[in-house]
Amino acid sequence: MSAPPLLQVRNLQVQFVTRRAVLTAIDDVSLEIAPGEVLGVVGESGAGKSITGAAIIGLLEPPGRISGGEILLDGRRIDNLPASQMRQVRGREIGAIFQDPLTSLNPLYTVGRQITETIQTHLNLTPAQARTRAIDLLKSTGIPGAQARLDHYPHQFSGGMRQRVVIALALAAEPRLIIADEPTTALDVSIQAQIIALIRRLCREHGTAVMLVTHDMGVIAETADRVAVMYAGRLVEVGPVAQVIHHPQHPYTHGLMGSIPRVGAQRDRLEQIDGAMPRLNAIPTGCAFHPRCPRATSLCERRRPELMPAQQAQAACWLHDANSASHFPAHDAATGGQV
């Protein structure tokens, strides 16, 4: 990356302590996001995407806890801050956009009150200045009649408009980082496209860094600059979006790409990844993906690979070990097959 990273996650580990065992949900995850960059984080349900985002923003629910590693925002460590200090970071320096806007908005207050209170909590503005900024935020997120809509309640907005309000709320204090957890899942396709365009424009105009958590590769292709693929609480591939989508270097990523239908492709059936994501109390030894991997070897069962260079990306796969003669096939975006 040309710009120094705004967010640095180093060897993050998140555990859940239960009466029977200590379960590791995130295991040694490291990633970086530069100002103005969108990092897409993808994977199946249970891969650890949302827990990673919650750990970064300081919203892990007990019994979850950060048990290792560190999180730095602009060089300052934030994972060990007291709750009162983390509340100041959250909102002022880190904004959040969640999947269901109704969980982010208080149904008893107008959207204007919620946005202006957030603004005044973090910025030194008068009530009149805060209201003016709130109107400007609603306008910037594409809400028509922003001045009148400011006095409406969340239930008076459609799903797409509520999500725009949540984006305005996330931007209220001019944060430098936004954690967007499945921000388009509950929306129809046309509204999804508008929200994607909005996120891209905000990054371009304000230099905001975005961590976009989703399972939708279409959203990733349209929005992200780089992609981090997660499986069973670990990163298995990280690289530029075009590289990861068109030439995946990990068998799991290859399976994800192969399962996506493509316009104009003549195929009898889609590829599938056999099996299911392992439970936290039954993570396999070695590479966690090896029971589902068509190219697994005895080495994969014994030893866990770390991220290693794989073309323009990095992949945690022994197929890319310098001592291995194996070659991983490229993925043809046009046909959905191997080349």
pLDDT at 334: 38
pLDDT digits (tens, 9 = 90+) for 91-114: 899 999 988 887 889 999 999 999
Give me the domain span that covers residue 252: 230-262+272-320
- Helix/strand/coil percent split, the chain, to 5: 35, 20, 40
168-177, 179-188, 312-321: least confidently modelled range: 179-188
**Is the residue at 79 inside a domain?**
no
Whether 39 has a pLDDT exceeding 90, the answer reads: yes
299 assigned to some structural domain: yes
324 pLDDT more than 80 = no
CA–CA–CA angle 166, 172, 174 (5° rounding): 125
DSSP track, 23-88: EEEEEEEEEEE-TT-EEEEE-STTSSHHHHHHHHHT-PPTTEEEEEEEEEETTEE-TT--HHHHHH
Q: Name the pLDDT band for 267 (thresholds 50, 70, 90).
A: low
Average pLDDT over every residue of 225-232: 96
Torsion angle in degrees (nearest 10) through CA of 53, 55, 60, 65: 150
Q: Does residue 278 lie in a domain region?
A: yes
pLDDT digits (tens, 9 = 90+) for 61-97: 899 999 999 999 999 999 999 999 999 999 899 999 9
Half-sphere exposure of 161 (CA within 13 A, CB side): 16
What are the residues whose beta carbons fall under 8 Å from the beta carbon of 190, sequence distance 6 or more? Answer: none
Residue 263: predicted pLDDT: 64
Q: Is residue 235 part of a domain?
A: yes
- Percent residues over pLDDT 70 in the chain: 92
Strand 76-77's sheet: what is its strand order? 22-33, 7-17, 64-73, 76-77
For residue 280, give every residue at least 6 positions away whose Cβ sits within 8 Å of its Cβ, in sequence order, or none: 16, 23, 24, 25, 233
Kindly report, residue by residue over 269-306, the tens digit of the pLDDT.
777 888 999 999 999 999 999 999 999 999 999 999 99
Cα 182 from chain centre = 8
User: Is 41 a member of any domain?
Assistant: no
The answer on pLDDT for 122 being more than 60 is yes
Instruction: Supply the pLDDT for residue 189.
Output: 81
- If pLDDT is split at 50, 70 and 90, which confidence band does 258 have? confident
Residue 329: pLDDT band with limits 50, 70, 90: low
Q: How far apart are CA 180 and CA 200, in angstroms?
A: 12
Report the alpha-carbon distance of residue 256 to residue 248 in Å, rounded: 9
pLDDT: which is higher, 174 or 264: 174
Residues 93, 177 contacting (CB under 8 angstroms) = yes
CA distances from 52 to 24, 154, 199, 314 (A): 12, 28, 20, 19
Domain count within the chain: 1
Residue 253 resides in a domain: yes
- Of residues 322 and 225, which shows the higher confidence score? 225
Residue 328's pLDDT is: 56
pLDDT at 337: 45
What percent of the chain is modeled with pLDDT above 90? 68
Residue 262 CA to residue 187 CA, distance in Å, equals 21
Residue 215, pLDDT > 90, answer no
> Could you give the 3-state DSSP secondary structure of residue 236?
strand
Residue 40 has φ and ψ, to the nearest 5°, of: -85, 135
Q: How many whole angstroms separate alpha carbon 165 and alpha carbon 134?
A: 10
Pairing of strands 234-240, 313-315: antiparallel
Residue 6 lies in a domain: no
Any domain includes 165: no
pLDDT tier at 260 (50, 70, 90 boundaries)?
Answer: confident
At residue 251, the pLDDT reads 95
